[in-house]
């Protein structure tokens, strides 16, 4: 890293490029964050204020955006009239349930896959990963037929099971990487001290605990943000937040204020969680293919 200390003089071209780069990043930041600002602010606006726009081309009129008196009525509508408390619970149970199931079963499977070698292991692995990558709509066609005959459509257990179709393979795939990093010697030492094999396994769990924790959160995130499964398999009895938000769009009456408020309610917790597991995010979102 010594080269960092070398004094470096910019050529004029580099200086121009530098300025251009800053402009680009600033513009990109505005483009990325503006929708959030609009969503957040609009959720506190009366509908009339939310619909106010300056004249076309009147860039100076942007101030209209901040010209409003804050109101909490959209949030009140959500919880009093639209039963959002219940949908939050549904989302929590469905996402949390499938995350816990996936990580418990997944860590057992990941551990054993990491410790044993057998013929056809790579095929088994490919099957597991392809389950995760399959298009949700395509998976849902037979799953819907099966769940309907088992009376699981519209129930939370059905939705938990549906989410497990993508969370379990994800958990196995990622957690195997964690267990690969734990040397077998630790388990051996435990067994020399008189632990059984299963106790040896539980003794190495604390070593992978941070990873497991992060991936419980990621599983929750995937399930919480899902719309398709919830719309079809959860329809009726197990409405989750994204579906409930979508249902605020009615042909005659689109309740924009409530939708923006629901958007804030749905997005804010996931953003916080995302920041908490920031370190594992890229690994998780790329199925462990890229590590920071």
Partner 1 sequence: MSQTLSLSQTTLDAVDRFRARKVSVEVEARPLSAELPTPTSFNPAARKAYYFYLMAPAIALLAFISLYPFFWLIVMAFQKGDMGAVEWVGFKNFTDLASDGRFLSGWVLLFKYSAMCLFLQVGIGVLLAVIVNGSRYEKFLVTALLMPMMMAPAVAGLLWLFLYNGTFGWYHWIFQSLGILETGSILSSAKTSMYALVLVDVWQWTPLITLIALAGLKRVPRDQMEANMVDGASPARNFFAIVMPNLYPVLLIAVLLRFMDNFRFIDHILVLTGGGPANSTKILPIYLFEVAFKFFDLGRGAAIALVLLVVTIILGKILVGVFDRPTSGGR
Detail the DSSP E strand segments found in 164-210.
none
Site string for partner 1, 19-38 (x = CB under 8 A): --x--xx--xx-xxxxxx-x
Closest by CA position to 44, among listed 265, 287, 267: 265
Contacts of 161 (CB under 8 A, 6+ apart): 98, 147, 152
Report if residue 60 touches partner 1, rule: CB under 8 A. Answer: no
Report 169-188 residues binding partner 1 (CB under 8 A).
169, 172, 174, 176-178, 180-181, 183-185, 188
By CB under 8 A, name the one of 77, 156, 203, 246 that touches partner 1: 246
For CA atoms 282, 122, 172, 268, the dihedral sign is positive
The smaller minimum CB distance to partner 1, of residues 69 and 275, is found at 275
In the complex, least distance from residue 68 CB atom to partner 1, rounded to whole angstroms? 13
The smaller minimum CB distance to partner 1, of residues 31 and 69, is found at 31
Report if residue 255 touches partner 1, rule: CB under 8 A. Answer: no
By CB under 8 A, name the one of 92, 93, 100, 134 that touches partner 1: 134
Report if residue 68 touches partner 1, rule: CB under 8 A. Answer: no
- Quick check: helix, strand or coil at residue 249? strand
Alpha helices in 226-255 (DSSP H): 228-232, 241-246
In the complex, least distance from residue 92 CB atom to partner 1, rounded to whole angstroms? 14
Instruction: Say what the alpha-carbon torsion angle 164, 166, 169, 170 is, to the nearest 10 degrees.
Output: -110
Detail the DSSP E strand segments found in 88-219.
none
In the complex, least distance from residue 113 CB atom to partner 1, rounded to whole angstroms? 7
By CB under 8 A, name the one of 19, 53, 209, 276 that touches partner 1: 53
> How wide is the angle at C-alpha 254 spanned by C-alphas 248 and 258, nearest 5°?
55
By CB under 8 A, name the one of 94, 95, 217, 281 that touches partner 1: 281
Report if residue 106 touches partner 1, rule: CB under 8 A. Answer: yes
Phi, psi of 102 (to 5 degrees): -60, -45
By CB under 8 A, name the one of 50, 94, 95, 261 that touches partner 1: 50
By CB under 8 A, name the one of 19, 76, 271, 276 that touches partner 1: 271
Report 185-244 residues binding partner 1 (CB under 8 A).
185, 188, 191, 197, 201, 211, 221, 224-228, 232, 241-243
- Quick check: helix, strand or coil at residue 116? coil
Selected range binding partner 1 among 68-76, 77-85, 139-147, rule: CB under 8 A: 139-147
Q: Which helix (H) or strand (E) holds 113?
A: helix 84-115
C-beta separation of 82 from 258 below 8 A: yes
CA–CA distance from 159 to each of 26, 29, 121, 217 (Å)? 41, 36, 30, 18
């Amino acid at each position: 890293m010594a080269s960092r200390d070398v004094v470096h003089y910019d050529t004029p071209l580099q200086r121009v490029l530098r300025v251009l780069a800053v402009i680009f990043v600033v513009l990109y930041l505005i483009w990325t964050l503006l929708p959030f600002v609009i969503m957040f602010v609009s959720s506190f606006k009366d509908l009339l204020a939310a619909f106010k726009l300056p004249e076309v081309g009147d860039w100076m009129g942007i101030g209209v955006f901040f010209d409003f008196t804050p109101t909490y009525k959209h949030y009140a509508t959500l919880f009093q009239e639209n039963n959002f408390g219940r949908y939050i619970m549904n989302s929590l149970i469905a996402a949390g349930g499938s995350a816990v199931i996936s990580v418990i079963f997944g860590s057992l499977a990941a551990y054993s896959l990491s410790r044993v070698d057998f013929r056809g292991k790579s095929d088994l692995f490919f099957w597991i990963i392809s389950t995760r990558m399959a298009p949700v709509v395509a998976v849902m066609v037979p799953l819907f037929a099966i769940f309907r005959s088992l009376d699981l459509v519209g129930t939370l257990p059905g939705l938990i099971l549906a989410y497990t179709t993508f969370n379990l393979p994800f958990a196995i795939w990622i957690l195997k990487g964690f267990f690969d990093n734990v040397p077998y010697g630790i388990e051996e030492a435990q067994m020399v001290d008189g632990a059984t094999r299963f106790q040896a396994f539980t003794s190495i769990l604390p070593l992978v605990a941070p990873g497991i924790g992060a991936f419980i959160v990621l599983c929750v995130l995937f399930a919480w943000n899902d719309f398709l499964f919830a719309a079809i398999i959860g329809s009726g009895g197990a409405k989750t937040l994204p579906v409930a938000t979508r249902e605020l769009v009615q042909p005659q009456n689109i309740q924009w204020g409530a939708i923006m408020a629901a958007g804030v309610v749905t997005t804010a917790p996931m953003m916080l969680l995302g920041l908490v597991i920031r370190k594992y995010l890229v690994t998780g979102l790329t199925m462990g293919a890229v590590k920071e």
